[in-house]
Amino acid sequence: MSIGEPLPRPDGRDKVTGRARYAADQEVAGLLHAALVGAPTPSGTVTAIDGREALATAGVARVLAAADMPRFGPVAPPSAVSKLPMQDGTIRHEGQPVAIVLAETLEAAECGAGLVRLTIEPAPFRPQGGGEVAVPPGIYGPVTFTKGDPDAAFLAAEHQHIAEYRQPSRHHNPIEPSATIAVWEGENLTLYDSVQHGYSVQAIVAAALNIRPERVRVISPHTGGGFGAKGFVWPHEILTAAAARVAGRPVKLVLSRAQMYANVGFQPNMVHRMALGAGRNGRLTAIKHEVEHVTALSDDFVEMATAASRGTYASPAIFTAQKVERANVNMPTAMRAPWEGPGLWGLESAIDELAHAVGQDPLDFRLANYAETDPATGKPWSSKKLREAYEEGARLFGWRERAGRPKRDGPWTLGFGMATCSMGAFRFPSQAQVRIKADGSVTVETGCHDIGTGTLTIFPQIAADVLGLPPDEVELIMGDTRLPQGGPTYGSSSTMGVGASVLRAAENARELLGRLANLPAGEVVMKDGRIGRRGGLGAGVPIGDALRTAGVGEVVGKGRFTLPGDAPFNADGEGTPHTIRTFGAVFIEVGVDCELGLLRLRRAVGSYSAGRVINPRTARAQMTGGIIWGWGMAAMEASPYEKKLGRWLSKNLAGVAIPVNADIPSDIQIHFVDEFDPHASPLGAKGIGELGATGVAAAVASAVFDATGKRIRELPITPGKLV
C-alpha cells in the first residue's frame, strides 16, 4: 500500500538545487523584457503619455500605451476584473498599468519605465474607509442568511455578548512573483505562466484577445507559491500576451514585489460585528455575524467570512450578512483559508469571551454547542469527528492540566488558548490519464499544478497504490493545458478532485490491461510489475509481456471526477444529501513580556478531522504551515494603507512583517483523526491545505487574554496593544 505512507517530496531536490524551472526561468529566444508603468494616483484620467525619453534609452524597443493595444473582448470570472486596463485613460486604482516598456534587457525596460512621463487629469477618489457600505450581489452564495428569529432570541438570552473584531488588509507575498512569458506562433499563443489554474488563463486570455481557447497553451510545471494571488486571471497576463502580439516578438513580464501589491489582489480589511446569546446552561440561543470590507470600484469581491458562523455551532437562531464598500483600490481576492480564515477570527474570539462570561471552560463550552448536523441546512455531515479531534488535541496539549502549569518563565507571562478550526469543501471536476507502456513505465498526466502543496508527491502515490508499484516508478506530468483538464490548485480541492481522477484513471488502466490478459473484470490485481487474477497473482504475467502478446504498445486509462449535474463547482456538498466540511481544534501557548510588549509563540497542537490522509508527511507539513500562517495573521501581518493618498504604504518584505523560522518554535504537534469520507471523494479524502490556517488567530488572542487579562479585538497583536 502506498496510500498512507509518509513519503518525502520527489521534487524537493530539484527545487533546492535550482533544477526546477519556474515561469521566469524558461528560455525563449529573441524575447523582449517588459516593465509596467503604473498609475501614480488612485483616480483620474491619463490624457497624454510621453515616451520619448524612454525610447532614447539604449535597448528600449517600444513604449506601449492604450492606443497601441488591441480592443479586448469582454471577460468575466475567473478574470479578476471585468474592466481591463490600457483600454482607455481611466485610472481606477494606484499602480494600475497605464503603459508598458519593451526592451532587450530587463535593466533597460525598468530604466525606460522610470522615464515615461504621464499627464493626468486629476479626479476625486474614494479611499478605503471613506464611503458607504452596501449589500453586494451574491456571487458565491447568498450574502444574507436568517434562521429562526435571531433578534428576539438574542434579546431573550440570559448571557449576551456584543463586540467588534477587526483585521487589517494583508497581501499574499508568495516567494515567486507573478511572471508571464508570451510566445506567438502565427495565431497560436503559448504562455509560460505562474498560475494556480492554467485552464482559467487559457479561457480568459482567449476571450480577451478574441481567439479560440484551443489556440492558447498555458505551461506552468512549477509555481512558487500562490496562496490565492495566482488563482484568478489578472490583467498583466492579458497585457503580456497583447504586447507580444503588437511587438511581433516574445515578451517576458515579471512583476516586481511592489507591483504585486497593486496588481494581484489582497485580503481586504474586515470588521466583524458579533452578537452571541446563550442560556444559563451555556447553550447558544443566537448567533449574529455581520462583516464589512472594501472592494474595487468596478467589480464585486465578497469575502464570505460569515460562512463559519452558519456551520460551526448548534443554534436555533442565526443571522449573517456581508456588506462591501466601494473604493479606488485594486481588486481584493481570495487568500489562503478564505471565508473561514477571517470569519473564525470573529466567531471564535466571541465564543471565547462568551464562554468566560458563562463561567465555562472554553473547550467545554464548544462541546456543549457541538453541531451534530449542519446548523444552516439540517443536513447530516458527510463525515465529522470533531469531538475526537477536540479530545485528542486537548490530551496532547495538556489542556485540562493547564491550571497546574507555571504561569511565569523569566520575563515571560504564559497564556493558553484554543479555538475551533473549520473549512468548507470546494470541489471542481477533473480529468487525468495513466499510461502504461510495454517497457513497464507508468506515467500520470493531468493539467493541474503543484504550488508547493505536495501534489507532485501524492498523485504518483495514488496511482502506485492501484498499480502495485513503488511510487518512485510512477512519473507525473502536469502543468500544461494540453494535458487532461485537471482542476484548480486552490480551495484545498486538488486531492478530492484531481486525486480522485488519478485514482479512476489508474483503475481504468488496470482493467484495460486485464482485458488484454483475458482476466475477469473486477478481479484484476497488479504488483511489482506483474498482472494477474485476485488470489492468483503468482500465476500472473509481467505487464510488458501482456502488452506485447496483445500487440499493443501501451494502454491509456482515463479517469474523471464529476459533480452532481455536471456542475463546474460545488461548495460544501450543495445539492447533495450531505454537507461536506473539514474540522479541527488548535491549542496555543504564548509568552508575553508585559514590560516590552513582546509576544512569542511557545508551542501549538493542531488536531484535525479532515478525511483520509494520503501522505502523513506532506499533510503534517501543510498543517504546520497553516499554523505558522495563522500566527502571522495574529501577531505580525498588516499591509498599511495611506488613506490620504489612496495607496499601499509598504510594498516590500522589509516593511511588512511575515513569520520566519526564528519566530516559530519546534514544538508544533499535528494529529489527524482516522476518518474516511466517501461522500467527498472516492479516495475518502478531503482538502487540508487551508484548514490549518483557521482558528489560530483567535486561539492566540485567547492565550494573550489568559496571560494578561487583556482582550485584543484588533489584529495584529503588536507591542503597543500589550503594554
Catalytic residue IDs? 690
DSSP output for 488-530 = -S-TT-HIIIIIHHHHHHHHHHHHHHHHHTTPPTT-EEEETTE
Residue 570 CB contacts under 8 Å (≥ 6 apart), including other chains: 425, 426, 427, 428, 563, 564, 576
For 388-453, the three-class secondary structure string (H helix, E strand, C coil) is HHHHHHHHHHCHHHHHHCCCEECCEEEEEEEEEEEEECEECCEEEEEEEECCCCEEEEECCCCCCC
DSSP output for 169-237 = -B----SSPPEEEEEEETTEEEEEE--S-HHHHHHHHHHHHTS-GGGEEEE-S-----TTTTTSBPHHH
**Helix, strand or coil, per DSSP, at residue 16:** helix
As a whole number of Å, the end-to-end CA separation of the chain is 55
Strands 284-295, 641-642: pairing is unpaired
Residue burial 616-640, b: 16+ Cβ < 10 Å; e: rest? eebbbbbbbbbbbbbbbbbbbbbbe
- Measured at the alpha carbon of residue 639, what is the angle toward residues 638 and 645, in degrees to the nearest 5? 140
- Measured at the alpha carbon of residue 333, what is the angle toward residues 270 and 213, in degrees to the nearest 5? 165
Q: Which helix (H) or strand (E) holds 240?
A: helix 235-247
DSSP state of 714: B
Nearest to 89 by CA among 69, 103, 112: 69
What is d(CA 176, CA 586) in angstroms, rounded to the nearest whole number? 29
Region of 148 (left: φ > 0; alpha: ψ -120 to 50; beta: rest) is left
> Which residue shows C-alpha cell 523584457?
33
**DSSP H helical ranges for 57-193:** 106-113, 150-155
For 308-323, the three-class secondary structure string (H helix, E strand, C coil) is HHHHCECCCCEEEEEE
Q: Check: CB of residue 417 under 8 Å from CB of residue 707.
A: no
Beta-bridge partner residues of 524: 533
For 550-606, the three-class secondary structure string (H helix, E strand, C coil) is CCCCEEEEEEEECCHHHCCCEECCCCCCCECEEEEEEEEEEEEECCCCEEEEEEEEE
Q: What is the identity of the amino acid at 288? A: K
Beta-bridge partner residues of 685: 611
Q: What is the identity of the amino acid at 392? A: E
- CB neighbours (10 Å) of residue 473? 15
What is d(CA 371, CA 473) in angstroms, rounded to the nearest whole number? 44
Q: Which helix (H) or strand (E) holds 295?
A: strand 284-295
